[in-house]
Amino acid sequence: MQMDKYKLLFFMLIVFFSIHTVSCQEIDKKILMLENYLSKLDEVSLEFEQKSSKGEIKRGWMLIKKPNNIRIEYEKPHPTIIVSNQEYFILYNAEDNIITHLPITDGPWTIFTNHKIKLTSDKNNREAHGVVEDIKEINKNNKKYFFYKLLLRNNNRDLIKNGIIIHLSNNPTKLIGWTITDNNNNKIFVKIIKITDEKANPIDLEMFKLSEKDRKSGDVWKGPFNRSPANRYSTGRL
């Protein structure tokens, strides 16, 4: 499949960093811009396209409600659902009915789920949620785009190994995607297709749970993809 112009542009930017670095004098200003923007992403839904460095392409949906609440689903045939709340962070295989538990604070999603995110360029500042290692900038069609390379801290204030690169446009400031690296060193590039502020219709916290009733029925999908109930092949327990 041939990549469109957007994918080709941002793939080259992230892989080769063929753009200039923001000057030291501007770093604090650019960090504050990212802090303010992320802190305002309180209740939002995102539709996105995800491409791995191995060539796998998925279309997905993410729901966010601060603090700590995330739900991610994908279009058919991908069976994985990601659910994070105040109590647990899980990967759920809807077809096999198997749950994998992960540490709540040991992943890149914390950049989106803290009420008021605090970032710094100083690795010795253990009070901040994350460290901005680098900022790249590109000017295209009279518009600026920024790429923030971040390392995040867990609850023990240790830096998490696998970071995240946030893609941000300016005027208006808007999240346009991100890049993460999984435990197998596979890069995943995410392009935001649609972002919706849900504050006018507060999100029910039940959206960030995986009930036994839904698991038994296979009717586990809550997103916009209109998926049929999952087939049951085996059982798993929370």
pLDDT at site 104: 74
Question: What does the pLDDT read at residue 233?
Answer: 54
Structural domains of the chain ordered from first start? 19-204 (2.50.20.10)
Question: 73-109 pLDDT, tens per residue?
Answer: 999 999 999 999 989 999 999 999 999 998 877 778 8
User: Which range is most confident: 7-11, 180-184, 207-211?
Assistant: 207-211
Q: Please determine, for residue 69, whether its predicted confidence score (pLDDT) is greater than 70.
A: yes
Q: What is the DSSP string of the chain?
A: ----HHHHHHHHHHHH--SEEPPHHHHHHHHHHHHHHHHH--EEEEEEEEEETTS-EEEEEEEEETTTEEEEEE-TT--EEEEE-SS-EEEEETTTTEEEEE-TTSSTTHHHH-SS--EES-TT-TTSSEEEEEEEEEEETTEEEEEEEEEEB-TTSPBPSS-EEEEEETTTTEEEEEEEE-TTS-EEEEEEEEEEE-TTSPPPGGGG---HHHHHHT----STT-PPPPP--S----
* pTM of the model as a whole: 0.85
